[in-house]
Structure 1
Amino acid sequence: MIHLLPDQLVNQIAAGEVVERPAAVLKELVENSLDAGARRIDVELAQGGLSLIGIRDDGAGIARDQLGLALQRHATSKISSLDDLQSVASLGFRGEALPSILSVSRLKLISRQAQADHGWCVEGAGALAAQAPIPAAHPIGTRIEVRDLFFNTPARRKFMKTESTEFRHAQQALERIALSRFDVGFGLKHNGRRIWDLGAADSQAGRQMRIQAICGEEFAQQCITLDESRLGMRLHGWVGLPSFARKQADMQFFYVNGRFVRDRLPGYALRRAFADVMHSQHHPAYVLYLEMDPALVDVNVHPQKSEVRFREGGQVHDLLFGAVHHLLRRVRPESSQHHITLATDDGPSVPLARAPEGQAPLRGWTAPPAVSLRPAPMATHTAAAKGAAAPVMLADRAPDAYAATPAGDEEAPLGYALAQLHGIYILAQNRQGLVVVDAHAAHERVLYERMKRQIDAGGMAAQALLVPETVTLHADEADVLEARRDELYRYGIDIDRNGPTSLCVRAVPPLLGIDQVKSLIRGLVRDDERRDSVSHFGEAIEVQYRVLADVACKAAIKAHRRLTLPEMDALLRDMERTALAGQCNHGRPTWVQLGVAELDRLFLRGR
């Protein structure tokens, strides 16, 4: 027997798509306020939102005769035709979520328009108590109170987490919205306590302050701004330096036409942009905004509109990857000033925003990729004793390198070497103070970028072996590598097939020994997740990066190798000319700056 379901049950079923937890209710109601033109939104929560979710705004309000209609299903002021639905630019359909929320809570809605003498109120518990609104004193705008969420669906109430967990989800939902609308002020209270109060931010300084308030001071100090337009799309926002990489993907804010989304395509493109400056288990941090024609993006593929579908996905991917990847390669230091700069393609540097007064400047940098690389003359030395307690002082140059620097000479941003500590760290002096360099990590990046340039120029040099070496593999692995012999030769590796399960290695890159090459070859075909890429690794940039990163890591100078001052200075100069020299190929920082003021504080100077 087929029959129609009661309206209340239909609403409760629909609520399953909209009302997942208090955070989902908060998101829907705040987005409604934004669509109503609000410039100030205050949120009040009790018990993580399970007891109370109160939203108050100064928007346009709802007319008396529209209040009851706003709580009916499929009622909206924004969609009137299929064309509107296909190119929707608003955050939600005013009134679409309200009946679903009403069906599982005790809801009270008060609203007043500018031309009205007073406000009007409707309320209900699971359903409207009465269709006719009643007068209520209220300023211009709207207030919605949602109490006792899931009071009439106890089974769903049992699935809610603790109060602190639900509040954290609700706060995150509001933070995502606050980062999308800098022109709107937001307030948040929980259990009567003020959590934060964000004023409208119409200036760049105000936007930076909101970024710092939500993402933290460390992100604000270690991020760079991005603004690039291409093919009718604009990508702008803030990108965290690789040194700020996170163990969790908890600081990734990506917006499409003002709507926060979590989509695989942007996530993949942005992760790929960080591929060779970040550890594979870490995640980049960013606050980015993509603006494009609404008709080219479908926001209705997910009930909560957290995913989208792009009509030209390839163009979106290329914009995201290209803009962020190029940005990371252009960052460089300006050691005579307390800020970093972006090197333009034709040479001069463009300054980034200064660090706020009293904060340290950003510490990561890379040089423009167009500058030619010069090999660092690393000679062979006897290894330093393990656990040496004191730094090795090599005093074949005056300790104060700047005292002997001719006036007008360009300052070296990383300064000049003073000593080597424990055979691992290079200690150098520049005008800001002390620079500490991880020699292995820095040399690894220098070699890596040099080899990338060699590959782009036609291939790496190959050094023939006096006695060829044999590598034993599975037959299918040997088939893959034999079929790609020409691509392998670009990496300086010359192989021949000499049996069903073996390869003969006849030449290797000058930087590597045969044992390292054997390990590299096996690594190319061991990773099952990369198997498809390996079969096309001449065209796959990810696999090329991985091969070169392995070569660079194996060839870089090792710990406890003693270096002379000229060798250390040569490495510092190579770092200044090398793209992405602020991080090694695994995402670790290669150097840090300790300012004179920081050193003075350590020793209580001036007190």
Structure 2
Amino acid sequence: MTIRILPPAIANQIAAGEVVERPASVIKELLENAVDAGASFIDILIERGGSRLIEVRDNGVGIDKSDLLLAARPHATSKISRLEDLSQIDSLGFRGEALASIGSVSRMSIVSRTKESNTAWKTNVDFAGHASDVVPAAQEVGTTVSVRDLFFAHPARKKFLRSENTEFAHIETVVKRLALSIPHTRIRLKHNGKVVLDLLPSQSFAEQQRRVAKVLGGNFLDSAKYFSTEGDGMRLAGWISVREEGWPNTQRQHFYLNGRWIRDRAVLHGIRQALSNMVVADSQPAYLLYLELPATEFDINVHPTKQEVRFSEPRLIHDFIYSSVVSGVTHGVQPEIAQIRLQQDEPRESSHLRPSSAFKSAYPHSKLGSSQVSQYQVRQQLRAYEVMANSDQKQEKSVTQVKLGDPIAQLFDHYLISHYQSNWYLIHIARARLALAIESFNRGQSESQPLLIPETIQISHQHHQAMVGWVEHLQAYGFSIGALSESQWVIRRIPIVMRYFDGAAMKTFIARLAEEEQTASREKLISVLREDQVALCQLTTEEKLQLLANCQQYASRLTKEGWPDFIVPIAEDWLATQFVAS
């Protein structure tokens, strides 16, 4: 059997099998190119469900005459040029496969004009991805890609297409999905000469809501809350709808990463976990969420459809989404605040995937865990946490309100400085976490959360029986621990109050319990917890906010007895004594 290199026409058609599945696949690729070109208006013409004609016209930057000959060649792209670029992709397309793949299974033509050119230029593309001679054409600045007779030379592929209405329904889904990620761009969709969808650009929050309602239906917004959370180089904003009767399917579940629609297991798990107690059986929540983070913190080049992603810190992303959704669905954000957030996200000059100006100014060289968020945004999120913390206080009589204010700085890893009006406070982080955990155990609270990645722990054979005794006792406090073997155990759930404890310290704590010869008890649990040192690290903004809210709730119950031992008020008079003139 002789090994041979396939002719370009056959190679392109094989590649097209991954990219071009149906007319909707063509629409997706062409729309992404239009968005990357900075278009503010995208006009889409469809005939017979896309089998006869798919035409996408935009008013973007256009393609230069000299580049038009390369546009449909395999792996020809203007979006990346070096290997390093794959680790910081900020465009929807980047592989240079789409036009070559589409051209290999259809009759395709490209007409384009740049603002520097006095005329437009046109080329036709053959099966091998070669462009014909470029000839003058008539068109305004922008690009028009026409795809005719899709799969005309491939009867086997064409017979798998569904009815005209079904194929167009898939096209409409793709168009609406993209429209939700580019609110500043007008999109018009026509089928067989009839305008099916015409979405005007949104310049205000009210206009954006009208656009969302037109795409997802007015009943979505009737029960939806808008929220916005920012921290640790990340921002999550959008709408969540959890109505009493739930939603019948997942058609109104949309999650965008830097403007790209994705489906990721860690993301979906974080959302489902946050909404698990709010959705009735056999129903679904509805949401439209936008996550922004630096392009260096995820890899989108893992699947042909570019709808799957690999995060560098999946656990951190999961926890951020979980806490943001819990806070957002409970409290939301006032419309005027949402308007401020929308104004910060002005249309991008070239690629809408580049972080907003506000995002770039806050995180010029962002890495997860080293954030600098605005004090305004911090205060907004803290108020949400204060509402949660104060909800339990309403049930307790004779409680004095304590306000610890905004987190200002973290010192030497050990201390957190906060400020409220004219008051300043110094908080010992490890002591605060310990006190909050102990109080939770004393009050019999058992609220827990699953670990995204379960932790395994080694327990010696001699302590196996003791561990068996502790497992049932720990379940009452929110732990879920199971045996994998005589010496290996797995931690699957932990109390929410311990969610920010270091993983290694958590395993050491469980191992210490197993070594205790005494019968499992709450007193012994708390005793071991007191003895173990909580690992110290730089807190994220989200952790600072939640720690302050929990400390406020705790301190409010103890003010008659004095401040707890992990909070020290900083008085101006005391500071003055440290600078007495010699």
TM norm structure 2: 0.61
RMSD: 3.7
Tell me the SS of whatever aligns to 2:178: helix
- Deviations 1:324-381 (CA, angstroms, capped at 9, x unpaired): 1122333699xxxxxxxxxx8999899xxxxxxxxxxxxxxx97452237889xxxxx
User: In the alignment, does 2:158 pair up with 1:157?
Assistant: yes
Aligned partner of 1:253: which letter? Answer: H
Tell me the SS of whatever aligns to 2:308: coil
Q: Which runs of 5+ in 2 are unaligned?
A: 335-378, 397-436, 446-464, 482-488, 497-582
- Deviations 1:140-171 (CA, angstroms, capped at 9, x unpaired): 11111111111111111111122222111111
CA pair 328-2 structure 1, distance change in 2 beyond 3 A: same
Aligned partner of 1:151: which letter? Answer: F
Q: Which runs of 5+ in 1 are unaligned?
A: 334-343, 351-365, 377-452, 462-477, 492-523, 526-533, 542-607
CA pair 94-210 structure 1, distance change in 2 beyond 3 A: farther
Look up the match of 1:456. Answer: 440
Q: Give the whole-Å Cα distance in 1 for the aligned partners of 2:139 and 2:382.
A: 60
Tell me the SS of whatever aligns to 1:123: strand
Q: Give the whole-Å Cα distance in 1 for the aligned partners of 2:15 and 2:393.
A: 61
CA pair 480-39 structure 1, distance change in 2 beyond 3 A: same
Deviation at 1:95, TM superposition (A): 4.6
Q: Give the whole-Å Cα distance in 2 for the aligned partners of 1:87 and 1:107.
A: 31
Aligned partner of 1:223: which letter? Answer: A
Q: Give the whole-Å Cα distance in 2 for the aligned partners of 1:250 and 1:95.
A: 30
User: In the alignment, does 2:471 pair up with 1:484?
Assistant: yes
Aligned length: 392
User: In the alignment, does 2:327 pair up with 1:372?
Assistant: no
Deviation at 1:99, TM superposition (A): 0.8
Q: Give the whole-Å Cα distance in 2 for the aligned partners of 1:455 and 1:249.
A: 40
Give the conservation status (yes or no) of the 8 Å contact 1:70–1:94.
no
- Deviations 1:409-434 (CA, angstroms, capped at 9, x unpaired): xxxxxxxxxxxxxxxxxxxxxxxxxx
Aligned partner of 1:282: which letter? Answer: S
CA pair 332-126 structure 1, distance change in 2 beyond 3 A: closer
Tell me the SS of whatever aligns to 2:494: coil
Q: Give the whole-Å Cα distance in 2 for the aligned partners of 1:480 and 1:283.
A: 39
Q: Give the whole-Å Cα distance in 1 for the aligned partners of 2:116 and 2:380.
A: 56
Deviation at 1:454, TM superposition (A): 12
- Deviations 1:223-270 (CA, angstroms, capped at 9, x unpaired): 111211111111111111343732211111111111111111101100
CA pair 242-318 structure 1, distance change in 2 beyond 3 A: farther
Aligned partner of 1:5: which letter? Answer: L
CA pair 247-64 structure 1, distance change in 2 beyond 3 A: same
Look up the match of 2:202. Answer: 201
- Deviations 1:16-61 (CA, angstroms, capped at 9, x unpaired): 1110111111010011011111110011111221221110000111
Aligned partner of 1:329: which letter? Answer: T
Aligned partner of 1:277: which letter? Answer: M
Deviation at 1:539, TM superposition (A): 2.1
Aligned partner of 1:539: which letter? Answer: I
CA pair 455-275 structure 1, distance change in 2 beyond 3 A: farther
Give the conservation status (yes or no) of the 8 Å contact 2:74–2:129.
no
- Deviations 1:64-121 (CA, angstroms, capped at 9, x unpaired): 1211210101111111101112211111038531011000001111111112222111
Q: Give the whole-Å Cα distance in 1 for the aligned partners of 2:148 and 2:177.
A: 23
Q: Give the whole-Å Cα distance in 1 for the aligned partners of 2:327 and 2:130.
A: 59
Q: Give the whole-Å Cα distance in 1 for the aligned partners of 2:257 and 2:382.
A: 33
- Deviations 1:449-504 (CA, angstroms, capped at 9, x unpaired): xxxx999353549xxxxxxxxxxxxxxxx99985533235559xxxxxxxxxxxxx
Higher helix proportion: 2
Look up the match of 1:298. Answer: 299
Q: Give the whole-Å Cα distance in 1 for the aligned partners of 2:380 and 2:116.
A: 56
Q: Which moved more, 1:312-321 or 1:275-284?
A: 275-284
User: In the alignment, does 2:284 pair up with 1:329?
Assistant: no
Aligned partner of 1:372: which letter? Answer: D
1:220-259 matches, within 5 Å, as: 220-243=221-244, 245-259=246-260
Give the conservation status (yes or no) of the 8 Å contact 2:40–2:60.
yes
User: In the alignment, does 2:289 pair up with 1:274?
Assistant: no
CA pair 275-59 structure 1, distance change in 2 beyond 3 A: same
Give the conservation status (yes or no) of the 8 Å contact 1:121–1:135.
yes
Deviation at 1:128, TM superposition (A): 6.0
Look up the match of 2:494. Answer: 539
Q: Give the whole-Å Cα distance in 1 for the aligned partners of 2:476 and 2:259.
A: 48
Aligned partner of 2:440: which letter? Answer: D
- Deviations 1:525-563 (CA, angstroms, capped at 9, x unpaired): 9xxxxxxxx98576266xxxxxxxxxxxxxxxxxxxxxx
Q: Which moved more, 1:213-222 or 1:157-166?
A: 157-166
Aligned partner of 1:3: which letter? Answer: R
Tell me the SS of whatever aligns to 1:456: helix
Look up the match of 1:134. Answer: 135
Q: Which moved more, 1:297-306 or 1:46-55?
A: 46-55
Q: Give the whole-Å Cα distance in 2 for the aligned partners of 1:172 and 1:481.
A: 52
Sequence identity (%): 38
Q: Give the whole-Å Cα distance in 2 for the aligned partners of 1:368 and 1:74.
A: 52
Tell me the SS of whatever aligns to 2:45: strand
1:133-532 matches, within 5 Å, as: 133-243=134-244, 245-330=246-331, 368-372=388-392, 456=440, 458-460=442-444, 483-487=470-474
CA pair 232-190 structure 1, distance change in 2 beyond 3 A: same
Give the conservation status (yes or no) of the 8 Å contact 1:55–1:145.
yes
CA pair 373-51 structure 1, distance change in 2 beyond 3 A: same
Look up the match of 1:577. Answer: none
Give the conservation status (yes or no) of the 8 Å contact 2:228–2:333.
no
Deviation at 1:127, TM superposition (A): 4.5
Q: Give the whole-Å Cα distance in 2 for the aligned partners of 1:243 and 1:92.
A: 40
Look up the match of 1:9. Answer: 10
Look up the match of 2:93. Answer: 92
Give the conservation status (yes or no) of the 8 Å contact 1:329–1:367.
no
Q: Give the whole-Å Cα distance in 1 for the aligned partners of 2:138 and 2:381.
A: 63
CA pair 454-168 structure 1, distance change in 2 beyond 3 A: farther
Look up the match of 2:123. Answer: 122
Give the conservation status (yes or no) of the 8 Å contact 1:244–1:284.
no
Larger radius of gyration: 1
Look up the match of 1:28. Answer: 29
Q: Which moved more, 1:149-158 or 1:124-133?
A: 124-133
Look up the match of 2:568. Answer: none
CA pair 307-482 structure 1, distance change in 2 beyond 3 A: same
Look up the match of 2:61. Answer: 60
CA pair 107-479 structure 1, distance change in 2 beyond 3 A: farther
Look up the match of 1:385. Answer: none
Give the conservation status (yes or no) of the 8 Å contact 1:332–1:367.
no
Look up the match of 1:109. Answer: 110
CA pair 244-8 structure 1, distance change in 2 beyond 3 A: farther
Give the conservation status (yes or no) of the 8 Å contact 2:100–2:129.
no
